[in-house]
Structures are given as C-alpha cells and as structure tokens.
C-alpha cells in the first residue's frame, strides 16, 4: 500500500464557500468513489462549524487532483421525510441496473438509518427512501444481483462506545427485492477482540475478482487508554454466497501513521470508504495487475489516497 505523495489530497482548504450553509468548512472526509464517463468522482462528507454534515461532489481526471463542486448535493424527495434528519454521511456508491446508487448513514432521533439515493449524471439526485428499521450503519450494496435479489453488507449498531456513537462488531448480509426493504440473512464476520479489528464495518463497495469479492473494511481497536484506533483491512468473500468468508488478513493494511491521520477532529482514524479499480476483464472480474485507488477519511478531517493492486490486496487478505 502506498500513500499518495500529495496526501492529504483534500482538506478544508479545497472546500469553497457555499451559501448559506457551508462557509469556512471545518473538514472533509469519508468519501464514496466511482468512475463515471472516464472521470473520478468522490462523494465527500463535509462539515461546517455548526458540525452540520453535508454531501458534496468532487471530480478529477487523474484520481488525485479534485475539483470540488460549488453546490451541495440535495436529494429530491428527502424533504418529504417526516422524522428529523440530523446528518447524512459516509456515502458509498454502487453502479447496478445501469444507474448509480448512493447508500449513506442518516442520523435520526435515537438511531442511525441507511438512506438510499440514485443519480444518472451526478448532477441531480433522487431520494428513494429509508432502507432500515433498526439502528445500523456502513451499508454497501453489491454491484450485481444474486438469483434476482440485491445483496448488501451492513453493520447493526449494538455496541455503545464510551462518549461516542453506537457501533458494532458484526457485519451481516441482507437481501432485498427492491433495494428499499431489506432482510438480514446471515452474519458475515465479527470483530476479533484484543486485536486490530475489534469493532468492524464495511468500507467501499466490494469488487469482484476471480478469487472472490474483495471486501475492504474498517476495524477499530478499543483497548488503548485514550483512543479508538480506526484502521483498514481486507477480506475475500465467496463469489456465489458472500456471507462466506474465504480469507481474512491477519494484519491491517492501513493504520494511522502520518500526522494528518494521527491528529484532527477525531485522532487516530483511517476510514476507507471509496475504491476505484482501473481494469476489469471481459467477464467483469478485476484484473490481478489492475491499479486500485482507495480513498479514506483521515482523522475525520481530510481525505487520503492509497494506491495498490488487486494482487496485493488479495495477498493481504490471505496473510495469516
């Protein structure tokens, strides 16, 4: 894994003032990522000094230097939701059925829900609905159907962090016929207590390889005195039944080491949330030698970029 030399590639300095809500942005982090019409697109999480959270698009032709939009993403139809929505954040993007779906966390009264939006052009966005009843986060939709059904990974929030949000130590697989109503089918993987990934949650949308679904996730070590340490790791899930874990790396692949990861709004956080794979074969499998760009939130303050290959990630997933 190689950090880009321009890291952090996006900081608050890159966020233009957007009246009336986003003046003097404090932070930009945890982006969803996708390639669209040959361009690299990030769906950024940005915050203002009121600690209000918004989504904002950025675009690039090389995946490193991004131009940030001058308008916040607004989902048509979200205004019809009756309950109070405090924040929307941590969007993951999936291309399926010829459209780009965004799944994101929605902080509501007493719980976090998963919201779903869709776009065809990254200019206008439509809100499709709230897709969970329980307190849950880190939803990612697989980019293809399985026996006519959609599948997603999600992480029910069942653990209360001291002074922090609810979290969880098990990623589960859910199934849906319409992407709105989801049923949890099976647990996929759980945290490994005492090690780097005690609490876990999925990162970017999984990528199909000949050896399985490549699944990047974050793991939180909670056993240090004053901080929860957020890191990135990798596992391989079965191609036909992704609730089956084929391999799971013993070691993290990304941990807070650089100053911009160690210090910030929330110190010691590397939170991978977007991944772009450059090359697929004619049957839709990522090529082993393909370059991979992983975008992550650093200390809930800026965006970092990590470069690697499919082969390297698979090797890490198999490291025991």
The residues binding ligand BMA (CB under 6 A) are: 30, 89-90, 165, 167, 230, 266, 269, 271, 297, 300
Strands 75-76 and 125-130, sheet pairing: parallel
Q: CB-wise, 87 or 185, nearer to ligand BMA?
A: 87
167 CB-near residues (< 8 Å, 6+ apart): 157, 159, 160, 161, 199, 201, 220
Q: CB-wise, 236 or 270, nearer to ligand BMA?
A: 270
186 CB-near residues (< 8 Å, 6+ apart): 172, 173, 243
Q: CB-wise, 40 or 271, nearer to ligand BMA?
A: 271
Strands 53-60 and 39-47, sheet pairing: antiparallel
Q: Which residue is nearest to ligand BMA (CB)?
A: 266
Strands 159-160 and 150-156, sheet pairing: unpaired
Minimum gap (Å) between residue 72 Cβ and ligand BMA: 18
130 CB-near residues (< 8 Å, 6+ apart): 81, 106, 113, 114, 115, 116
Q: CB-wise, 196 or 230, nearer to ligand BMA?
A: 230
Minimum gap (Å) between residue 165 Cβ and ligand BMA: 5
Q: Which of 138, 147, 134, 98 is nearest to 119 (CA)?
A: 98
Minimum gap (Å) between residue 223 Cβ and ligand BMA: 17
Q: CB-wise, 189 or 277, nearer to ligand BMA?
A: 189
Minimum gap (Å) between residue 75 Cβ and ligand BMA: 19
Minimum gap (Å) between residue 271 Cβ and ligand BMA: 4
Minimum gap (Å) between residue 269 Cβ and ligand BMA: 5
Q: CB-wise, 305 or 314, nearer to ligand BMA?
A: 305
Q: CB-wise, 228 or 308, nearer to ligand BMA?
A: 228
Minimum gap (Å) between residue 138 Cβ and ligand BMA: 8
Q: Are 222 and 291 in contact (CB under 8 A)?
A: no
Sign of CA dihedral 286, 288, 290, 291: positive
Length of the chain: 320
Q: How far is CA 220 from the centre of its chain?
A: 15
Q: Which of 136, 134, 115, 137 is nearest to 126 (CA)?
A: 115
Identify the DSSP state of 86. Answer: E
């Amino acid at each position: 894994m190689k950090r880009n030399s321009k890291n952090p590639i996006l900081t608050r300095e890159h966020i233009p003032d957007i009246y009336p809500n986003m003046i003097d942005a404090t932070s930009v982090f945890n982006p969803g990522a996708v390639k669209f019409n040959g361009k690299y697109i990030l769906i950024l999480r940005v915050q203002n000094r009121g600690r209000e959270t918004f989504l904002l698009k950025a675009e690039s032709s090389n995946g490193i230097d991004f131009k940030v939009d001058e308008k916040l993403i607004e989902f048509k139809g979200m205004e019809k939701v009756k309950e109070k929505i405090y924040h929307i954040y941590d969007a993951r993007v999936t291309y399926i059925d010829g459209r780009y779906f965004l799944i994101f966390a929605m902080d509501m009264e007493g719980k976090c829900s998963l919201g779903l939006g869709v776009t065809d052009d990254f200019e206008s966005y439509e809100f499709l609905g709230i897709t969970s009843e329980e307190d849950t986060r880190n939803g990612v939709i697989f980019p293809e159907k399985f026996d006519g059904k959609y599948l997603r990974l999600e992480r029910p929030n069942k653990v209360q962090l001291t002074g922090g949000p609810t979290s969880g130590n098990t990623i589960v697989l859910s199934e849906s016929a319409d992407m709105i109503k989801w049923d949890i089918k099976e647990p996929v993987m759980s945290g490994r207590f005492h090690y780097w990934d005690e609490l876990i949650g999925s990162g970017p949308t999984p990528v199909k390889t000949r050896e399985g679904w490549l699944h990047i996730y974050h793991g939180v070590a909670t056993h240090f005195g004053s901080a929860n340490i957020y890191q990135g790791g990798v596992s391989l899930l079965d191609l036909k039944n992704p609730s089956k874990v084929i391999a799971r790396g013993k070691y993290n692949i990304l941990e807070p080491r650089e100053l911009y990861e160690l210090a910030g709004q929330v110190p010691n956080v590397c939170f991978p949330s977007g991944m772009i794979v450059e090359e697929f074969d004619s049957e839709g499998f990522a090529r082993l030698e393909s370059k991979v760009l992983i975008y992550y939130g650093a200390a809930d303050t800026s965006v970092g970029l990590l470069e690697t290959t499919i082969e390297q990630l698979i090797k890490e997933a198999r490291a025991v």
